[in-house]
Each structure stands twice: as structure tokens, then as C-alpha cells.
Amino acid sequence: MNALFHGQQAWINLRLLQDGARRGVAVVVADKGPGIPDLDAAMRDGYSTRNSLGIGMGAARRLMDDFAVTTEIGKGTTVTMAKWKD
């Protein structure tokens, strides 16, 4: 949702993963928006810039097996996640 509300030229890429017998899905969400000025705050539950519940980034991190965020002020944000099937 953050990419839709704050980003410009946002995109989402989904792809299947396979590592030997292990399978999963990778999700990359990227935008060319303003970037996240305080990433630590954005990862905490309850932090919101849109009067929402503020659980999106933290919930995504908890739900996924792999999670990484890169952000640069004035250039955008990329969130890369993966979920592996048990």
C-alpha cells in the first residue's frame, strides 16, 4: 500500500523460487517515491504516515522468511521478500 500511496512509478514483481527440493515465492515491491526517512520507525507496529494501523511493514517482515528494505531519500524504496514452502 505504501508504494501505491507514496511512490511514483511503483511496480511489483512475483516469481517462483526453487532451491533444490525447496520451493517458494519471491516478491519485490519498488517505487521511485520520496524514500523512507526513518526506516526503523517505519518497521515498528503503530507507525503510520496515513492514519492507518501502521502494521504493514512489520507484519510483512514477520510473515516472510526473507525480508529486506533498501530506501534512498528522493529516489525510492525497494522491499524484497521471500516465503518458502515447508
| Mean pLDDT, residues 60-79 taken together | 95
- Indicate the pTM of the whole model: 0.86
Which range of residues forms the domain containing residue 64? 2-84
Residue indicated by cell numbers 502494521: 55
Task: Compute the mean pLDDT over every residue in the chain, rounded to the nearest whole number.
Answer: 89
* Region for residue 27 given its phi and psi (left: phi exceeds 0; alpha: psi -120 to 50; beta: otherwise): beta
Q: Residues near 37 by Cβ (< 8 Å), separated by ≥ 6?
A: 73
Q: How many domains does the chain contain in total?
A: 1
CATH of the domain at 77: 3.30.565.10
Residues in the chain: 86
**What's the mean pLDDT in 17-44?**
93
Band (pLDDT 50/70/90 cuts) for residue 15 is very high
Total Cβ atoms within 10 A of residue 44? 12
Q: Cα(32)–Cα(35) distance, rounded to whole angstroms? A: 8
